[in-house]
Amino acid sequence: MVKHLFKLIWNKKKQNFLLFSEIFVSFLVIFGVFTFGVYAYKNYMAPMNFEYEDVWVISYTNPLKTENTDSLELFYSTVKQNIKAVPGVIEASYQSANFPFSMSMMTGNIKANGRDINPVNIYDIDDDYAKVLNAKMVEGRWYNKSDAVNNKVIVINKKLKETIFGSGSAVGKYVDGENAKDGKRIIGVVEDLKTEGDYQTVGYGAYRRLDTAGFKWIGTMLVKVKPGADAAFEGRLYKTMANSLKNSNVEIEHLNNKLTSKNKFTLVPLIILSIVAAFLIINVALGLFGVLWYNINKRRGEIGLRRAIGATGDSVSWQLVGESLILATFSLLIGSFFAVQFPLLNVFDLPAIVYVISILLAVIFIYLLVLICALYPGKQAANIYPAVALHEE
Amino acid sequence: MISLQNIEKVYRTDTIQTLALNNISLDVAKGEFLSIMGPSGCGKSTLLNIMGLLDAPSKGSVRIDSQQTNSLGDKQLAAFRNKKLGFIFQSYHLINDLQVLDNVELPLLYRDTTAKQRRELAAQALEKVGLSNRMKHFPTQLSGGQRQRVAIARAIVGRPEIILADEPTGNLDSVMGNEIMDILTGLNQNEGTTIVMVTHDENMARKTHRLVRLFDGSQVQ
């Protein structure tokens, strides 16, 4: 019977072309939505690898005009001590503007093992950054005061380490040069910190220890506070910062609020795309339904004949559903051919598994859609009275 | 072979009811070639549909090959039609998107047969109606007479004991009509197939064993 249906569909290829095209285009759109969704979900399921609850960001403008870096370092060390001295503050760390869930980014490249990795997110931080975020080390250690005398050291994230060094150890190896003279020695590998939000992937990361000159342009401090810190506490923190930095604009934000804002950058396009796709699907469903309904009315004579020569109502119904599913299979085969080009050509630099899952989901979705749209017209076809249908012709 | 007892068929709508068949009792013997005649709207096709189990009588019983059919369900009726009955229609009812051979194979699709068996049986049926050379043609490439011969091949491919023909020569000229009648007569005489034929044509009816006339839903002869 399947062969018979294939033959019937093939011989009616001109009539079926519109339906074929409709299913094909729908598949590609659904594939796109699923790819976006699966990618976001996969990222969402990945661990954050740091704690952002009760971490606040103090942004400030640098009020000092001095060019003396030692004076700058001394001044900002004092500011940090003042902040840490506020009751309720657990830890504090300076960081470049690309703090977690910010809209800023700073990228560069890292050369090692004959490879040039680009882009790498560069974070300028101080010795307390890992403590503020409770970031875990995969190997080696985080920065400490002993690194002040030798600034040719670096901490990288796990993803960068695995790309450059594979599963082997990275501590003690060099990047951006092959020895102590030219390169930077890796002292630690930190977990992949998902600092771009719940739905974004972790990129390559390199953490540089702030040197004395860095304070000229640093304007952010991360502060870990005790749970339950309230507005009164925030007021005290603000006053302390404002008093420490005269003539500076100070602003305090909470990382969990920043995360919510950041997530919207992924969710809003996904929701818009889903709404557009939903309208398309409704149109396709109505189109499929209409075409199948029309086909059944056009084929009443054939349906009557099939009943006369031995088809049951159910077999007529399933034949029509089967035809729709076979037609969908043709569309899905062509659609899948185009869809697999995305991982093969690495079009958007997404993991291949995201595309594979999206193709499978889109195939299942289209089959379900076609099945649902074909079931009712199929059922109606089964109810066609053969004597009447044969007489109409 | 076919026994109709007190068949009555009433079509009802919300406002009116029409008596299409009124107390028809008819027996068709095995190997008989029976023709049914009557003016348009007298119930000929309705009677044939009831014999072919395509329609159920409002009253009365239909017995085919000693089998009481009134209580059969959809699946049993379909199987019964497939094995026991062959249909020929005035407008052929061929599927234009399928080649002649595929059209003839159709009844066998609803049986437990292999593709090879279907091919062989369909080819044999086409040979019987003299259309072996048209197997790969589509119905639209054939003349009316050839199409009706394809329809006959489809009706006999499953080797049914009964053929029900609803004005098989109605759309054909006399030459082609005679050709079709010759084939039907041959099937009846050589293979013992029981044939019930509805016709408007007295000449064709005269070639059958027995003639039944209907008028306003009642049997008048």
**Is B97 in CB contact (< 8 Å) with chain A?**
yes
Do B97 and A1 make contact, defined as CB atoms within 8 angstroms? Answer: no
pLDDT at residue B72 tops 90: no
Please report the domains of chain B, with CATH numbers, ordered by start residue: 2-219 (3.40.50.300)
Kindly identify which residue of chain A lies nearest to residue B102, measuring between CA atoms. A4
Predicted local confidence at residue B43, as pLDDT: 86
**Mutation site for B-interface testing, chosen from A7, A13, A305 by largest number of B Cβ within 10 Å:** A305
CA distances from A208 to A42, A94, A121, A143, A205 (A): 29, 12, 11, 9, 10
Three-class secondary structure of residue B198 per DSSP: strand
Q: For residue B45, which residues of chain A lie inside 8 Å, CB to CB?
A: 391
Write down the ipTM of this complex: 0.89
Q: How many C-beta atoms lie closer than 10 Å to residue A87's C-beta? A: 7
Element (H, E) at B65: none
Do B78 and A8 make contact, defined as CB atoms within 8 angstroms? Answer: no
Distance from CA of A308 to the nearest CA of B (A): 7
Determine the Cα–Cα distance for residues B101 and A344; give it in Å rounded to an integer: 44
Q: Residue A17 is which amino acid?
A: F
Do residues B131 and B183 lie in contact, with contact meaning Cβ atoms separated by under 8 Å?
no
- What single-letter DSSP state applies at residue B99? -
Q: A115-147, pLDDT tens digit by residue?
A: 899 899 999 999 999 999 999 999 999 999 888
Distance from CA of A326 to the nearest CA of B (A): 17
Predicted local confidence at residue B221, as pLDDT: 66
Per-residue pLDDT of chain A (393 residues; tens, 9 = 90+): 778 888 888 888 888 888 888 889 889 989 998 998 999 899 999 999 999 999 999 999 877 777 777 788 888 889 999 999 999 999 999 999 999 999 898 999 999 888 899 899 999 999 999 999 999 999 999 999 888 877 789 999 999 999 999 988 999 999 988 777 788 999 999 999 999 999 888 999 999 998 877 888 889 999 999 998 899 999 999 999 998 888 889 999 999 999 999 999 888 988 998 898 888 888 888 888 888 888 888 888 888 899 989 899 889 899 888 888 999 999 999 999 999 999 998 888 888 999 999 999 999 999 999 999 888 888 888 888 888 888 765
Residue written as tokens 């062509």?
Answer: A334
Closest Cβ–Cβ partner in A1, A12, A390 for B93: A390
For helices A352-382 and A13-45, give the axis angle rounded to 10 degrees: 140
Per-domain residue ranges for chain A?
2-46+262-392, 62-248
Q: For residue A305, which residues of chain B lie inside 8 Å, CB to CB?
A: 87, 89, 93, 95, 106
Q: B127-168, pLDDT tens digit by residue?
A: 888 888 898 999 999 988 899 889 989 988 988 899 999 888
Predicted structure pTM score: 0.77
Do A310 and B91 make contact, defined as CB atoms within 8 angstroms? Answer: no
How many Cβ pairs within 8 Å bridge chains A and B?
70
Distance from CA of B121 to the nearest CA of A (A): 16
Predicted local confidence at residue A68, as pLDDT: 76
